[in-house]
Amino acid sequence: MNKTPFSKIIAGTMTWGVWGKNYNTMQMIELMNCCLENKITTFDHADIYGNYATESAFGKAFIESKIDRNEIQIISKCGIQLESEIRKNAIKHYDYSTPYIISSVEQSLRNLQTDYLDLLLLHRPSPLMQVDKITEAIEKLKRDGKILDFGVSNFTPLQTDLVQTKIKINYNQIRFSITHFGAMLDGSLDHMQTNNITPMSWSPLGSVFKNDDEQAHRVKQLATKFSLKYGIPIDIILLAWILKHPSKILPVCGTSNLSRIANLMTATTVEMELQDWFALWSASAGVPVP
């Protein structure tokens, strides 16, 4: 099956349901259409979002929207078992057994009302994961056409290499932003480039708009200056900073504000000057670059 590549900005759905805005069906349809109108065609899910309810809410809206499945890409994740009455789990844990991975994907497909996922990610690494069991599940899901591609989320380079002893990983969704830039210093992004793995970044605006601390103040002050220089909002400056990295990071943006969604793709057109990029990094770090 030939599919359109993921959009350069990905819509994160974690807060669309009861973990955030708790949107109804019509509001979700409006969000989906707003994303598509602004060339954001990829939607990022996880089975656990909304205490296992957000996929279903999205799936209902997707069917009612009449959006062509071929026009969008759907990502989901599995492996985290939340402490939940829905799952009868007594404690949060991870499960990467072959039957669980397969059954989790099949449940996600039912919830999302689709025949396949464009990408399945293992949500977080488990000390007990067995690569043979993971590989068996992924190969079967691919053979059956239930997933088109495979990746991980929050895996270190060594954990990635462990899985890649048996099966190729094509994506790794990690925390990366102007305020959480460790992945470009600890070898994670270098490892992904070396191994032809595309990074995705969750929480791509970091803590700039969440924390009232010196780091946030420094970044906002400089980003405000650059906002005037480049003629774009501060959040777009911060996304453009991520997109300048040569590993070709795909930011997963969780905003559900329609006017902000309309601006997101602008970040892909910004040619941030070299010294401005380093100035933002220095402002975040609070010291000159090493």
Active site residues: 49
- Return the residue matching tokens 């007594």: 90
Integer CA distances (angstroms), 201 to 16, 64, 154, 181, 256, in order: 18, 30, 10, 11, 17
Would you state the torsion angle of the CA atoms of residues 20, 24, 28, 29, taken in this order, to the nearest 10 degrees? Answer: 180
Task: Assess contact for 120 and 126: CB atoms under 8 A.
Answer: no
CB 211: neighbour CB atoms within 10 A? 12
Query: Rounded to an integer, what distance in angstroms lies between the CA atom of residue 256 and that of residue 10?
Result: 12
Q: Is 46 exposed, middle or buried (0-12, 13-18, 19+ CB in 10 A)?
A: buried
What are the structure tokens assigned to 63, written together? 């069917």
Q: How many residues does this entry show for the chain?
A: 290
CA 18 vs. chain centroid, Å, equals 19
Task: Assess contact for 161 and 190: CB atoms under 8 A.
Answer: no
Helix (H, G, I), strand (E, B) or coil at 172: strand
Q: Which residues is 147 bridged to in the sheet? A: 117
What are the structure tokens assigned to 71, written together? 């026009």
Task: Assess contact for 94 and 104: CB atoms under 8 A.
Answer: no
Query: Rounded to an integer, what distance in angstroms lies between the CA atom of residue 96 and that of residue 137?
Result: 9
Backbone angles phi and psi of 214, in degrees to 5: -65, -40
